[in-house]
Structure 1
Amino acid sequence: MASLPDKKHVRTLAIVGAGPGGIMMGIALKHKLGLHDFVIYDKSSDFGGTWLVNSYPGSASDTPAHFFTPSTHLNPHWSTTFPPQPELLAYWHDLASRYTLYSNAAFYTRVIGAQWNCETQRYDIELEDVRTGQRRRERAQFVVSATGLVSEPRYPEAIAGLGSKGESAFEGAGGCWHSARWRHDVDFHARRVAVIGNSASAAQFVPCLAADPTTQVVNFGRTTNWFVYGPRHRYPSALRWVLAHIPLALRLFRLCVILINYGRPIWLEYRQRFKSRGKEGREADLIAYMKRTAPEQYHEMLTPTYPLSCRRPILDAGYYACLHNPNIELSRKRVCAVTKTGLRLEDGTEEAFDVIILSTGFVTGRSLLELRGEDGVSLNDFWKSEGRPMAHRGVCVPGFPNFFLIAGQRRLALCGDPLTSPGPGPNTVTRNGSAILTHEVAVNYIAQLLAPLIRSPSPRPLTLRVPPAAFRAFNARIAAALAASGFAAAACPPSWFRADGGTGANFSTWPGSIYGFWWAMRRVRWEEYEVREEAGRAVDVRAGRRWEDALKWALGVAVLVGAGVGWWERARLGEEVVRIRS
């Protein structure tokens, strides 16, 4: 058992996860709140999260580069429309260095669990050094979970001979491993490779494997997916110079990217409500694209049997085209077991392989952090009792004071079959837009919640809670909106964003657009929360906010009045000058 924390290990705030969400939260704490007494835990060796671990060939964003950064930290130097993994990782490392977040980081540190201590009004956090196995305890007043959903690979239980941690009976030369744990030491030249899964990440690395004509690839994929055309164009150096040196050019270019790429999806979303041709026309376009690009022998296998609105389509990075290669085969046969020499299929046949790559997604639908609240109930048990993961506005859960989730379970085209991007905030996935914008919205909202608690002059620690009534009212509205959306269609197949093995309630999706999510989260409604001192006395943090709002309104009115008076004086003075001259 780890020892109790000493005073030097008592912090104001702890962030779990050093991916984009954790980095953005750390920047907000330093830049917006002036808080430096916090720590960022991560079991990896550096910042980057999904971009650190998903280093397979072809790994890249499926969101346009200039919409895949925080609005406060735009980057004029992106090389292509959809940046590759090394470029994205370098961007996040640069941000972490620029804001000196390395001084707040505790790498190679796994968070075993966190328990709310009613006496100290803080969380006792149990940690483990992944290199030595040594455990210790630290304490924090606030905990922010930014663990994401692409950190724990999923190994299908239905495949015999495959353990929950990836161990297998396979004895092939290249081994059996998950695409998120890519082995760069494996040589694929003149090898026979099995790829299990044909969704997001496989769609990126399979073309890279098939590029070597000596590599024989068999892609086992039982799921049909919608694919959209997504060419990677290089940005000319002249354009990058303009974006870097001409004032407002980068902002205007980003706005154009947003309107071109995400204006149409929003229009289609509303058009579908009144005229079915919007949806049917889009589906027909995508099927026509597939038939133009993929081999005819696979057309039936590649045609989805569910509506486009059920899942976000995958960006085609050459997957359809690579199926023309003679060294690749697409199979719909179900994999039943991993054997010593390869795979056993549903028809009883066995196929031998040198390498087996699992592109089977990540663990979703539960918190990877073993968190216990004020009643000793774990977060996962609470969600289980509710029937699905739920949170108030995607960030707070009743019974877990001073605990926050970084929202943004946005799906990326790099991470699995199928899966989401960092951020386990329930019901925060949007149909269009950027995962990073969703992160930014959630981080700004959490910063608003933290500001009066951190800046309070009270010597006693403050605790923030969301009452069950507010929590249930909000989630009831979300459920009602989702019931009328395409994500609840009976024709939709089992999916990662639904509970009970993919067939239950939708725990992940936001019922509107990214812009609607931003509008709902633009400011805190303090009547939805309770703030109390250590002794249990309620504290009205809105008092300070009311003075701030009143001051802003007063300044705004003063500016308008001043401008009006100035204009009137100038006009009157002009009339006097004209009168004198005449």
Structure 2
Amino acid sequence: MSEGKYSQVVIIGAGFSGLTMACQLQNQLKEFDYTIYERSKEVGGTWSANKYPGCAVDIPAALYSLSFAPHPGFSKLCPSQAEVLDYFHEVAKRYRVLEHVACQTEWEGAVWQESSRTWSVRLRDLVSGRVFHHECKILISAVGALVNPNSFDLPGVDSFCGEIVHTARWRDGLSLRKKDVVVVGNGASAAQLIPAVIHETKSITQFIRTPQYYVPNDNFDISAFWKAVFRWIPGFLLLFRFLIFVYLETAMAMIGLGQQGSRSRLVASSKSKAYMTGSAPEKYWPLLVPEYEIGCKRRVFDKAKYIPCLQNDRLLLTNDPIVAIQESSVLTQSGKAYPADTIVLATGFSLTHWDVDVRGRGNRSREEHWKEFGCIEAYQSIAMNGFPNFFYLLGPNSGRAHTSTLFAIENHTHLILRVVRPILEGRASSVEVKRESEVRYNQQLQSAIEKTVFTDSCGTYFNDSRTGRNWFIYPWSSFQLWYSTHWAGLDDWSYEATAPVESCLRPEKSLLQLCRCRIDSSVRQGIYHGY
């Protein structure tokens, strides 16, 4: 085990969450002493991992971009993976973030050190296998949920003569030309992949389990004229971004269980069903039309025109479950064998991104904390009591099923920076959310979720299979998210002073300094609130 390192801030993950936090540490706090660790060979997060044909963002790029780094040059309303990744690299280069990144480094654990008020982060160099520790004041988990693919463990997998590939592990140079292809899954990835490759394949057999709501959608080219307007007319791109934000926010009307929500869901589901039955062969209608209510799973925006592809004789859709893999085919429950040269898994992701052993005060683990609370949770999606100076980006219940993930990332980044400012300015040594505040927040959260369609009725991965509670969704509006992260007070946080409490009471202190040292007599010496 090698000698450790030290930084003020350690960020785990070099996707959009890590990039946003790094840029805003520099912009807002003038903090440059940070290190980002990324286990992949390159930065970019999900946009680096998902390189399958047809991969694209399903939110208009004017909103799926960072507010402090607008980009007028996207070629389409919803650009391809390659364009989004190019934009990511452009921002990282502009802010010189790559100088702070160490790739191919796995996060293995972290322990809070009470004596030094720091985190000891355990990491492994995936090239050399060397294990080392990195000490830091602030530890931020910017590890996204769409990281670790679901497993595919069927009898006979090892005997398959072709290639089995997950959409998030696409191999450069993989060709599907003139091949019999099996696609497992029918979410957004499959809906983008199939239209992109169907004309080069010999056949595609798609195996599905649960129907989806597909929404008709067009992806427009952005002309040179509009690019020039976005670039040269001040505020126009910002206005366009705001209009998209407001339009997407109208989907919030669908999630409530009241009469308005029911009416909105009826209209939306009718439109989706009309699209599917009007564009797909009748024999597939029973496989396509869901029985659950629209909204409790993320809708699939069919910009790639997957549903019309079902008219192509090369594509066969079935819900006959696969039970085994053979040398050149897949065997189903009905006893039929379907030919397969390549198997593509569009089967989503597991929740193992929270399996890393993180231990807070008194060596208490995250698992122990969540067991006490009865579910995976975090106050405002970013913090847990007993884990000082530790924060999440895209943590529990930060998910937005209807709008831009980057909007959530930026808002939670802003809240974290508000909370940690006293630490990085040397006015406090640690901060953590109060336990009673965390309890109250999660009671309010679960109560709000119970009034929405985001229950376990869909069997969605949004819900913890052990408890049935929704760990993914933020149930309130984006306006509420913005207010709670930008303007709401910080009374739910406790700070530990870097100096004895008595020093705050000296006569020579200014009024401002005295306000920053508001003493809470109900807690032990050294704790104060109100930054």
Secondary structure, in 3 states, of the residue corresponding to 1:55? coil
Residue pairs, 1:527-542, within 5 angstroms: 527-533=491-497
Per-residue deviation, 1:378 = 2.3
Determine which of 258, 263, 288 is the counterpart of 1:302. Answer: 288
Q: CA deviation at 1:283?
A: 1.1
The question of whether the paired residues in 2 share the 8 Å contact of 1:25 and 1:443 is answered with yes
Q: After TM superposition, give the deviation of residue 146 of structure 1 in Å.
A: 0.4
C-alpha displacement of 1:334: 1.1
Q: Please give the secondary structure, in 2, of the residue aligned with 1:285.
A: helix
> What is the TM-score normalised by the length of structure 2?
0.90
What is residue 68 of structure 1 aligned with on the other side?
Answer: 64
> Is 2:271 the counterpart of 1:285?
yes
Q: Distance in 2 between matches of 1:21 and 1:440?
A: 8
Q: Of 247, 265, 275, which aligns to 2:234?
A: 247
**Pairing 1:169–2:158 present:** yes
2:106 partner SS: strand
Counterpart amino acid of 2:245? I
**Structure 1 stretch 239-248 or stretch 250-259: which is displaced more?**
250-259
In structure 1, stretches of 5+ residues that fail to align are 162-167, 407-422, 549-582
CA distance in 2, matches of 1:244, 1:62: 23
Alignment partner of 1:427 is 2:397: yes
Instruction: State which structure, 1 or 2, has the greater radius of gyration over its C-alpha atoms.
Output: 1
1:189 matched to 2:177? The reply is yes
Deviation (angstroms), 1:528: 0.6
Report what 2:210 is aligned to: 223
CA distance in 2, matches of 1:257, 1:363: 31
Paired position in structure 1 for 2:417: 447
Q: Is 2:296 the partner of 1:331?
A: no
Please tell me the residue identity of whatever aligns with 2:217. G
Residue equivalent to 1:498: 463
| 2-structure distance, mates of 1:233, 1:544 | 53
Decide which of 104, 118, 143 is 2:114's aligned counterpart.
118
Q: Specify the alignment match of 1:82 in structure 2.
A: 78
CA displacement at 1:462 relative to structure 2: 0.6
Confirm or deny that 1:404 pairs with 2:371.
Answer: no
CA RMSD, 1 decimal: 2.3
Distance 2:48 2:77 in 1: 20
Q: Which amino acid aligns with 2:470?
A: N
**Which residue among 245, 248, 257 is the counterpart of 1:258?**
245
Q: Deviations over 1:170-221 (max 9, x none)?
A: 4323x11211000233221121111111112111101112122x42111100
Q: CA deviation at 1:297?
A: 1.2
Does residue 486 of structure 2 align to residue 507 of structure 1? no
Q: Point out 4+ residue stretches in structure 1 off by more than 4 angstroms.
A: 267-272, 534-540, 543-548
Q: From 301, 316, 324, give the equivalent of 1:315.
A: 301
Question: Is the contact made by 1:342 and 1:356 (CA closer than 8 Å) also made in structure 2?
Answer: no
Cα offset for 1:373?
A: 1.3
Q: Which amino acid aligns with 2:86?
A: A
Selected match of 2:338 from 326, 344, 351: 351
- SS state at 1:375 partner: helix
**Cα distance, 1:303 vs structure 2:** 0.2
Q: How many angstroms does 1:366 deviate by?
A: 5.6
- Of residues 359, 364, 383 in structure 1, which corresponds to 2:370? 383
Superposed displacement of residue 525, structure 1: 2.8
Pairing 1:517–2:481 present: yes
Is the 1:310–1:487 contact (alpha carbons within 8 Å) kept by the matching residues of 2? yes
Q: Choose 375-384 or 312-321, whichever is displaced more.
A: 375-384
Post-superposition shift, 1:524? 5.2
Matched-pair contact (CA < 8 Å) for 2:257–2:453: no
SS at match of 2:182: strand
Partner Cα distance (2:231, 2:454) in 1? 40
8 Å CA contact 1:15–1:38 kept in 2: the answer is: yes
Structure 1 residue 14 and structure 2 residue 10: aligned? yes
Q: Does the C-alpha gap of structure 1 residues 439 and 345 become closer, same or farther in structure 2, counting only changes over 3 Å? A: same
Distance (whole Å) between structure 2 residues aligned to residue 482 and residue 539 of structure 1: 45
The 8 Å contact of residues 13 and 45 in structure 2, kept in 1 or not, is answered as yes
In structure 2, C-alpha distance between the alignment counterparts of 1:303 and 1:33, rounded to whole Å: 50
Aligned partner of 2:434 among 446, 467, 476: 467
Q: Which residue of 1 aligns with 2:521?
A: none
CA distance in 1, matches of 2:73, 2:442: 41
How do 1:568-579 and structure 2 match up within 5 A? none
Distance 2:337 2:512 in 1: 70
CA contact (8 A) 1:69 1:436 kept: yes
Letter in 2 for 1:443: T
Answer yes or no: is 1:25 the counterpart of 2:21: yes
Superposition map of 1:233-244 within 5 A: 233-244=220-231
Asked if residue 203 in structure 1 is aligned to residue 170 in structure 2, the reply is no
Aligned CA distance change for structure 1 residues 522 and 273 (closer, same or farther; 3 Å)? farther
- 3-state SS of paired residue (1:232): coil
1:513: Cα distance to partner?
2.0
CA distance in 2, matches of 1:475, 1:77: 41
- Structure-2 separation of matches of 1:402 and 1:388: 22
Instruction: Report the alpha carbon displacement of residue 507 of structure 1 after superposing the two structures with TM.
Output: 1.2
Q: What pairs with 1:269-280 in structure 2 (closer than 5 Å)?
A: 273-274=259-260, 276-280=262-266
| In 1, Cα distance between equivalents of 2:180 and 2:401 | 37
SS, match of residue 526 in structure 1? coil
Structure 2 counterpart SS, 1:509: coil
State which drifts further: 379-388 or 54-63. 379-388
Counterparts in 2 of 1:270 and 1:474: CA distance versus 1, 3 Å: closer
Query: CA offset at residue 14 of structure 1?
Result: 0.1
Comparing 36-45 and 524-533, the one that deviates more: 524-533
Secondary structure, counterpart of 2:62 in structure 1: helix
Correspondence for 1:56 among 37, 46, 52: 52
- Cα separation, 1, equivalents of 2:35 and 2:94: 17
The structural deviation recorded for 1:294 is: 1.4
Q: CA deviation at 1:529?
A: 1.1
Q: Which amino acid aligns with 1:484?
A: K
Change (3 A) 1:462 1:262: same
Shift of 1:526: 2.4
Equivalence for 2:525: none
One-letter amino acid matched to 1:26? A
Match of 2:89 in 1: 93
Percent of residue pairs identical:
27
Query: How far off is 1:269 after superposition?
Result: 5.3
After superposition, the Cα gap between the structure-2 partners of 1:102 and 1:304, relative to the gap in structure 1 and judged at 3 Å, is same
Deviation at 1:278, TM superposition (A): 2.5
Structure 1 residues 441 and 223, CA, compared in 2 at 3 Å: closer, same or farther? Answer: same
Partner secondary structure for residue 67 of structure 1? coil
SS of alignment partner, residue 19 of structure 2? helix
How many angstroms does 1:243 deviate by? 0.9
**Alpha-carbon distance in structure 2 between the residues aligned to 1:545 and 1:449:** 17
Q: Classify 1:466/1:201 alpha carbon distance in 2 versus 1 (closer, same or farther; 3 Å).
A: same
Structure 2 runs not aligned, ≥5 long: 505-510, 517-531
The one-letter amino acid paired with 1:171 is: F
Aligned residue type for 1:354: D
**Separation in 2, partners of 1:531, 1:210:** 58
How far apart, CA to CA, are the structure 2 residues paired with 1:32 and 1:24?
11
CA displacement, residues 99-120 of structure 1 (integer Å, 9 cap, x when unaligned):
0111111111111111112222
Per-residue deviation, residues 281-336 of structure 1 (Å, max 9, x unmatched): 22111100111111211111100010002112111121101111111111101122
C-alpha deviations, 1:66-107, integer Å up to 9, x for none? Answer: 111122221111111111000000101011100011111111
